[in-house]
Amino acid sequence: MRNILTVIGARPQFVKAATLSRQFTLCGIKEQIIHTGQHFDSNMSDVFFEEMAIPKPAYHLDINGVTHGAMTGRMLEGIEHILLKDKPEGVLVYGDTNSTLAGALAAVKLNIPVIHVEAGLRSFNMAMPEEINRILTDRISNLLLCPTDTAVQNLKREGFDAYPVQIVKNGDVMQDAALYYAQKAQEKSRIISQLGLTDFVLATIHRQENTDDSVKLQEIISGLNKINKEVQVVVPLHPRTRNILQQMNLQPAFTIIDPVGYFDMIMLLKHCKLVVTDSGGVQKEAFFFGKHCITLREQTEWVELVQHGYNRIVGTNPNLLLDAFQFFSNRQSVFSVDLYGNGRAAEVAAKEIGKM
């Protein structure tokens, strides 16, 4: 396969795309990118393309700010139009967003092979839109590139051995990005000095199941406020979530900053004491930079991080959050174990795609 069309639209996908786009250039695979516009403000989108030298999208659909159904439908229509015009040999999608599902659906209905990077992940929580997106995308994909052994086993348990698909464990391309861009971030980011940070906890809150549930959001703010009494908590917060806090008249005692680019995020991860998050990607990034993580969900797709003692699941209970913070404050761990491919995931993926 020498002609790929890649569909991306959200921050984690920009990071992942940077790793494979670089490998495609080395392998002689032609790639065009569709940016759906799912993450639309400059800090969440444009800065990633600039910082990480991702090829400029050939198409920008600018679809955002609508319901799940409307967003996925409009993306499906827009992507289908491009596929009919460009006729690529394959469509590549990442992760579990509406952009992922729309790209896969548009391709499979036109009999174009689908490649799913980060296949096989399961939270087993069907209330998560991401879980629905990833299950459906896996089922209609031709090449399933899995980041972990657990992901491979999930697919096998669901009967994928009986389907005409190829399952490959390639590792996690986000670790490729973390290793590749760490030095560049050190050279270019000034966020630590600009904010005057020394000893701090990094926290992120974005998942809809938390931000749109007033009880859960109040619990998270309460827990972070308690931690902030012991050590500064820094939270890059999307404007949408900040508006929700204002509407609910919640009073965070911790430090809120604007959303940050990837290089700034790397530096925050490298210098923080601990990570608290409801993001799947940030759980792994904490591990990549040798930091323990507390996850503000009832489950995680990255079970190996919990099994190895790097991550603790607390839901949104403020007391469990504080207990986990105190537990990790004095814990020493070895983070050198190979869980995600040690930086070769994109290379393996590109070779598999080239053979299709």
Per 3-state DSSP, the chain is made up of helix, strand and coil in percentages (nearest 5) of 50, 15, 35
Amino acid occupying residue 335: F
Query: Cβ neighbours of residue 216 under 8 Å, at least 6 residues apart?
Result: 209, 210, 316
Structure tokens at 39: 């993450």
Work out the number of other CB atoms within 10 angstroms of the CB of residue 145: 29
CB-based contact 107:1 (threshold 8 Å):
no
Ranges assigned E (strand) in 89-192: 90-94, 114-117, 143-146, 166-169
Residues tagged active-site: 206
Q: Tell me how far apart the alpha carbons of residues 126 and 83 are, in angstroms, rounded to a whole number.
A: 30
The span from the CA of 181 to the CA of 35, in Å, is 22
Give the bridge partners for 31, in sequence order. 4
Contact between 12 and 174 under an 8 Å Cβ cutoff? The reply is yes
